[in-house]
Amino acid sequence: MDYFRDNDSKQTNSHEGNSTEHSPDLSLNWDGPQSLIANSDGSSPSSAPRQEELVSREASFSASDSHCSYGSAASNLNGDTRSLMGIQDSPISHNGNSHIDDHLSHSNHSSFVSQSSFSDNKQEFCAASTLRATDPSKNLLEAAEKTIEELHAESKMWERNADKLMLDLDMLRKEYSDQSKNHAILAMELSAANVERNGLRKEVEQLKTLLEKSMAKQPTYEDSTFEDAGATLLHKELENEIKFLKESNDSLALQLKRSQDANVELVSVLQELEQTIEKQKVQMGTITALQSQVSELENCMQLNSEENSNLMIQLQQSRESEKNLQAEVQYLEQMKNKESDALLDIEEEYKTKLAAKEREIIGLKVKLSESRKEGNFANPESRNAHDTPLIREIEALKVKLEELETDCNELTDENLELLLKIKETNNNVYGGVASNDFSSDEISAKLAMSEQKSEMLFLEEKLRKKILREIQSDYNSYILELETQTTELEAKGTEVVKELAQKRTEMQTLEATLLSKEEENMELRMNQSKLQDMHHQLLAAEDKCEYLRRENTKLQATNETLIEECNSLNKSAEELRKEKSELEEHCAQLEAKLKECSKKVEVLDQNLTLVIEDFASKEKKLTLELNAIHDKSKKLEAKLKLEESSWNQMYLEKTNEVENLVIEVENLGKQLSAAHHEKEKTACEISGLQADKVRLELALEEAQSNLKLTQSEFKKIESEAKTQVEDLLGELTAARENHEILMAEHEKSLKLLESYKSSEGKLKTVVNELELKLTVSEYERQQVSEQSNNMKVQLLKIENLQDDISALTDERNAIKADKENLEASLHLLSRECHDLKAEKNYSMQQISTLQKMVSEIEDYKHDKIVLEEKLVRTEGDLVAKQALLTQDEEIKNELNKIKQTNRQFQQQIKQLQEEKDELLIKAQTLEENLKLKVEEKQKQRHSNSHRNKREARNLLPLRNHIDRHYDSNEGSHGNEFARVMEANNKYRVRVNSSRLSEGRRSQSNTPRKSSIEGEVVAKEKYERTKSTLEAELSDIRERYLQMSLKYAEVEAQREELVMKLKGVKSIRRFFLNPSN
C-alpha cells in the first residue's frame, strides 16, 4: 500500500512538474469549465486566439498524459499485442474518426467548433477522471460547482442591470418623442409665421399700388402734399415694423437652431445608450450559453462521480490483487527502468519540439496582430507586402506540422516495438514462472493485470493520437480563419480607401460649391444694396397711405402673436436645457455606480486574499497537530513493542479468550465500516456544500472537530489501554488466568493500533484533500487575477477605442457643423432669392405703372399735336382779326389767369370743360364772321403763315425731344407736362373766345376806319404776347431738359435692375437644376 501511495504521489508530482514547466498550459487539467467557457464565448474571428490557447493547452495535456502513461508503463511489463490489435478496431476509434471528420467539415463555423471542442473536452475530462484518484475529482467537482454558482449570481446581476437600462431607455425614448413633437409644433408655427409674413408683404404691395392709383385720382396738389407727408410718416413706421419683424424672425431662427442642436445631442446620447444595451444583450447571450454549458458540466460531473465510485471499487480490487504481485513486479521494474529512461529522453525531445512550435505560433500571433494593426491604417499594396511573409511563414508551419506528424508516427511505431519486446519478456517471465510450478490462479491473475495495463497503455496512446489529430485540425482551421481574415481585411481596406476617395471628392465639390455660393452671395448682396437704393428712390415717389393705417392694426396683432410664439419657443428651449441637465445628472449617477462596482470588486479581492491567508494558517495548525499525534503514536508503538515481548510468553495461556476477542473485533470492524460509511456520507455532503467559501470554512471546522473527536477517542483508548495494562500486571502477579485476558486485551490494542493507523492514513488523505483544495483555490485565485488583468487590458483597449470614438464623433460633429452652416447659407440664399423675387415683382409692377404712364404721355402728346394745330389755326385767325386790339387788357388778365391755372389746373378742369363748350359755340359764330373777312386779310394771312411755319420749325426739336424721353417714370414730371398742355389748351380757348368776341364787336360796333387803327394796336399786342409765349416756351424747354436728364437716370437704373434680374434668374436656375 505504501508503495502504491508513493507511486501515486510520483504521478502527481510528475503532473506538477509538467505544470511548472508549462504553466500557461495547465488550465485544461484543472479548469475545464472556464477554459470551455472561454472557448465558447463567441463565434467571431476574435475567438481564433482563444482556440489557439486551447490547442496549446491540449498539447500540454497530451504531453503530461503521455508522461503519466509511460510512467505507468514503467511499472507494468505484461502486455498482449492481440488485445492491442483487437481494440484498434473498436467502436471508440470509429467515433473518434467520425468526430474528427465532423470537426473538419464544420471548421468554418466557429460556434460549432466551440461546441465540438467542448464535447471533446468533456470526453477527455471523463477519461482523465477515470485515470485519476477520487480526491482530485471531488476537488474539481467542488471548483465547478463554485464557478457555476458564481456564474448564476453574475447572470442575475447582468439581468438586473439590463432591466434597469431598458427602463432608462424607455424613459429617454419617451422624452425624445415629446421633444420631437415640440420640435414639429415649433416648425409648424414658424411656417405659419412665414406664410403670414408673405401675406403681409403682398398686402403692402397691394397698398402701394392702391396708393399710386389714389395719387393719380386725387384732385388738388395741396392735399397731395399734405397726404405725402402723412404717407412718408406711415411708410417710415411700416419700415420700422418690418425691421422689427425681421429681427424677431432672426431670433426665432436662432432659437430653432439651438433646439435642433439640443435634439442632435439627445439623439447621440440615445444612440450611445442603445449601443450599451446591445452590448449587454450580447453579454446576456454569452451568459445563457455559459449556463447551458454549466448544466452540461453538471451532468458530466454526475457521470464522473458515478464512474469514480465504480473506479474506487475496481481500485480496491486491483490493490488487493497487486499486493500479491508486488514482489514479481519489482524485478520486472528494474528491467523496465532502462527502457523507460530512453522513452523519457524521447518524450523530453518531443516536449522541447512542441515548446519550440508553440513559441513560433505565439510569435506568429504577435506578428499577425501587428500586421492587422498596420493593415487597418495602411494601403492595400502595403498590406499585400506585409501579408506575403505571413503566407510564407504559414506554409513553413504546414511543412513543420507534417514533420511533426511523421515524428509522431515514428514514436508510435517505436512504442509498438517496445510493447512487442515487453510481451517477449513477459513470455519469458511466464515460462520461468511455469518452470517454478506456480499455480494457475496466480498466472491468470497476472495475465488479467497485464491485459488491464496494456488496455490502459492503449487508451493513453489513443488519447494522445486523438489530441494530436485535434491539434492538427484546429491548426488547419486556424490557418483557414487567418486566410479569410486577411482577405476580409484586404476587402475592408479597399472599401475604406474608396470611401476616403469619395469623401475627398465630396469635400472638394462642397468647397467649390461653397466658393461659388460665396461669390454669388457677394454679388447678390451688392445687387441687394443697389435694389435697396432703388427701392428707397421709388419709395420717395410714393404718395398717400390712407389704407395702410387700417393694415397697421393687423400687423400689430400679428406682431403680438409672434411675440407670444417667441415666448413659447423660449420656454420650450428652457425645458430642453433642463432635460439636458437631467440627462447629464443621470450619466453622472451611472458613472458613480460604475465606480462603486469597481470598489466592491476591490473589496472582494481583499476578502479573497484574507480567506486564503486564513486557510494557510489553519493548514499550518493542522500539520503541527498531526506531527504531534504522529510523535505520540511512535512512542506508543515503542511501548507496545516492549510489552509484546512479555505478552508473547503468555500467548499460549490466552487462546481461550481469543474467540471472545474475535467477536469483539468483528463488532469493531462493523463499527469501523459504519464510521467509514458515515465519513463517505460526510464527504458527499462536503462535495454538495462546496458552493461558497463560507461552506468551505464550515467543512474545515467539521474536519477539525472530527480530528478533535478522534484525538479524544485516541486518548480514551490510551487511557483504557493503560488501565488494562495495569490490570494485566496486577493479574500477572496474582495468577496466570488473567494472562489470557491480558493477551486478548493485547490483541485488542493491536487492532486498535491498526485502526489508528488506518485513521492516520485517512487523516493523511484528508490533509492531501485539503492541500489539493488549497492548490485549487490558489489556482482559482491566479485565474481571477489573470482575468482581472485581462479585464484591465480590455478596459485600456476600450478607453483607447473610446478616444478613437470621441475623435471620430468630433470629426462627425465638425462635418455636421459645416453641413449646418452650408444649410444655413442655403437658407439665407433662398430667403434672399425670395426677397429678390418679391422685389422683382414689385419692380415689375412699377414698370407696368411706368408703361401706363408712358402710354398716357403718348396720349398727351397726341392731344398736344392736335392742340398745336389748333393753335396754329387760332394764331392765323388772330392775325387776320383786328378786333383783338381792343381786348388786349382782357388777354393780359387771361394770361395771368393761365399762370394761376398752371398751379391750380386740377381744380379748374371741370370749369375749363364748361368754358370749352361755350367757346365752341362762340367759335362757330367766329367762323361765320371769318368767312366775310377772308378777302380783306389774305395778305396778313400769308405773312402770318410764314411766321407760323418758323414757329412750327422751332417747335419740332421740342417734339422730338419729348418723343425720345416718353418713358419717364416720375409722377411729378407727368403732372408738369399735363399742366403745360392744359395751359396751352386754355390759351388757345382764350384766343378763340377773343376772336369770337372780337368778330362780334367788329360786326356790331366798329367801322372800317377804326379797324385799321385796331390792327396796328393788335400787332403791337400780338408782338408782346408772342414775346411772352416765347419766354414761356423757353421755360418749357428747360423743364423738358431736366425731365430728360431724370429720365436718363431712370433708364440707367432700369438697366441695372434688368441685370440684377438676370443674375437672380441664373441663381434660380442653378438651384432648380443643381446637376447641370
C-alpha span between 330 and 334 (Å, rounded): 7
More confident residue, 19 or 907: 907
Among residues 272, 186, 162, 181, which one has the least CA distance to residue 584?
A: 272
* Three-point CA angle 394, 399, 400, nearest 5°: 95
In the block, cell 401706363 appears at: 852
Question: d(Cα 808, Cα 1021) in Å, to the nearest integer?
Answer: 100
The answer on 405 and 320 residing in a single domain is yes
Among 217-221, 729-733, 974-978, 1055-1059, name the most confident range: 1055-1059
Q: Give residue 1074's pLDDT band: very low, low, confident or very high (50, 70, 90).
A: low
Q: What is the pLDDT of residues 5-20, one digit of tens each?
A: 444 444 444 443 343 3
Name 991's Cβ contacts closer than 8 Å, sequence gap at least 6.
871, 874, 875, 877, 878
In a domain, residue 826? The reply is no
Domain-embedded: residue 152: yes
Query: What local confidence, expressed as pLDDT, does residue 180 receive?
Result: 73
Local confidence band at 712 (pLDDT 50, 70, 90 cut-offs): confident
436 DSSP assignment? T
Q: How many residues does the chain have?
A: 1076
Closest CA to 102 of 477, 634, 408, 499: 477
Q: What amino acid occupies position 738? A: N
Model confidence at 63, pLDDT cuts 50, 70, 90, reads: very low
873 part of a folded domain: yes
Specify whether 844 is located in the same domain as 766: no
What pLDDT, on the 0 to 100 scale, is given for residue 435? 44
Choose between 425 and 997: higher pLDDT.
Answer: 425
Nearest alpha carbon to residue 758 among 97, 813, 750: 750
CA distance 773 to 752: 30
Residue located via cell numbers 483557414: 480
Largest Cα separation within the chain, whole Å, is 220
- pLDDT (tens digit, 9 = 90+) per residue, 367-394? 666 665 555 544 444 444 555 666 666 6
Summarize pLDDT for 847-879 with one digit per residue, the tens: 777 777 777 777 767 777 777 777 777 667 667
Q: Which three cell numbers stand for residue 274?
A: 442603445
- Which of 488, 271, 494, 497 has the alpha carbon at shortest distance from 372? 488
Give the pLDDT confidence score for residue 89 in this predicted structure. 40
| 30 pLDDT above the threshold of 50 | no
Which amino acid is located at 979 in the chain?
Answer: R
- Which amino acid appears at position 677 of this protein? H
Any idea which residue has 403692402 for its cell?
204
Q: What are phi and psi of 622, to 5 degrees?
A: -60, -40
Kindly list the distances between the CA atom of residue 880 and the CA atoms of 518, 778, 943, 992, in Å, as whole numbers in the listed order. 76, 147, 10, 12
Q: At which of 777, 802, 826 does a domain end? A: 777
User: Domain range spanning residue 766?
Assistant: 617-777
* Shared domain check, 747 and 851: no
Which is more confidently placed, 602 or 886? Answer: 602
Confidence of residue 366 (pLDDT cuts 50, 70, 90): confident
Q: In angstroms, rounded to a whole number, what is the distance separating the alpha carbons of residues 728 and 699?
A: 42
* Domain termination site, one of 457, 472, 503: 503
CB 286 within 8 A of CB 112: no
Q: How far, in Å, CA of 783 to CA of 16, rounded?
A: 17
Same domain, 729 and 847: no
C-beta separation of 143 from 30 below 8 A: yes
- At residue 448, the pLDDT reads 66
User: Do 481 and 621 sit in the same domain of this protein?
Assistant: no
Q: Are residues 843 and 773 both part of a single domain?
A: no
Q: How far apart are CA 57 and CA 30, in angstroms?
A: 11
Residue 89 inside a domain? The answer is: yes
Residue 832 within a domain = no
* CA–CA distance, 154 with 331 (Å, rounded to integer): 57
Task: Calculate the CA dihedral of residues 1039, 1043, 1044, 1049 and round it to 10 degrees.
Answer: 150
- What per-residue confidence (pLDDT) applies to 43? 37
Do residues 344 and 452 both lie within one domain? Answer: yes
Tell me the per-residue pLDDT of 130-152, one tens digit each, with 9 for 90 and over: 444 445 556 666 777 777 777 77
The 10s digit of each residue's pLDDT in 231-272 is 567 667 667 767 777 776 777 777 777 767 776 776 777 777
In angstroms, the Cα distances linking 42 to 48, 125, 794 are: 10, 22, 16
The residue with greater pLDDT, 421 or 844, is: 844
Q: How far apart are CA 946 and CA 143, in angstroms?
A: 141
- Yes or no: say if 130 and 311 are a contact pair by the CB < 8 Å rule: yes
Lowest-confidence segment of 84-98, 597-611, 945-959, 1056-1070 by average pLDDT: 84-98
Looking at residue 838, its pLDDT comes to: 79
Answer yes or no: is 1059 within a domain: yes
Number of other CB atoms surrounding residue 576 within 10 Å = 21
- 209 assigned to some structural domain: no
Intra-chain end-to-end CA distance of the chain, in Å: 100
Q: What is the CA radius of gyration of the chain?
A: 62
What is the Cα–Cα distance from 422 to 83, expressed in whole angstroms? 14
* Cell numbers that stand for 456 in this block: 490502459
Q: Number of structural domains, the chain? A: 3
Does one domain contain both 733 and 846?
Answer: no
Tally of CB atoms within 10 A around 263: 16
What's the mean pLDDT in 311-335? 65
| Residue written as grid cell 490483541 | 747
Task: Kindly state whether residues 773 and 897 are assigned to the same domain.
Answer: no
Higher-confidence position of 101 and 1028: 1028
User: What's the average model confidence in pLDDT over 666-682?
Assistant: 67
Q: Per-residue pLDDT tens for 457-490?
A: 776 677 677 767 776 776 677 667 777 777 777 7
For the chain, percent of residues with pLDDT exceeding 70: 40
What are the percentages of helix, strand and coil residues in the chain, rounded to 5? 95, 0, 5
Pair 715, 850 in one domain: no
pLDDT of residue 334: 67
| pLDDT in the model for residue 1056 | 76
Is the same domain home to 386 and 498?
yes
pLDDT at 991: 52
Instruction: Please compute the mean of the pLDDT values over residues 284-306 and round it to a whole number.
Output: 70
Residue with cell 467571431: 44
**Distance between CA atoms of residues 521 and 528, nearest Å:** 10
Mean pLDDT of 626-636: 73
Q: DSSP assignment of 128-173, as one string?
A: HHHHS-HHHHHHHHHHHHHHHHHHHHHHHHHHHHHHHHHHHHHHHH
Least confident of 28-42, 261-275, 511-525, 571-585: 28-42
In this predicted structure, what is the pLDDT of residue 27?
35
**Average pLDDT of the chain, as a whole number:** 64
- Which pLDDT score is estimated for 664? 67
So what's the pLDDT on residue 704? 67
Q: How far is residue 477's CA from residue 39's CA, in Å, rounded to a whole number?
A: 14
User: Is residue 358 in some structural domain?
Assistant: yes
Task: Give the mean model confidence (pLDDT) for residues 43-51.
Answer: 38
Q: How confident is the model at residue 129 (pLDDT cuts 50, 70, 90)?
A: very low
Residue 1054 has pLDDT above 70, yes or no: yes
Mean pLDDT of 988-1013: 50
Q: Give the pLDDT score at 817.
A: 78
Across 33-37, 623-627, 937-941, which has the greatest mean pLDDT? 623-627
How would DSSP label each residue in 414-479? HHHHHHHHHHHHHHHHHHHHHHTT--HHHHHHHHHHHHHHHHHHHHHHHHHHHHHHHHHHHHHHHH
Look up residue 1051 and give its amino acid: E
**Among candidate residues 476, 503, 530, the one where a domain is terminated:** 503
* Residue burial 128-149, b: 16+ Cβ < 10 Å; e: rest: bbbbbbbbbbbbbbbbbbbbbe
Are residues 872 and 756 both part of a single domain? no
Q: How confident is the model at residue 739 (pLDDT cuts 50, 70, 90)?
A: low
**CA-CA distance, 324 to 433, in Å (whole number)?**
14
Q: 1030 to each of 282, 905, 1027, how far by Cα in Å? A: 107, 21, 5
User: Is residue 335 within 8 Å of residue 432, measured between CB atoms?
Assistant: no
pLDDT of residue 319: 67
Top-confidence residue, 39 or 988: 988
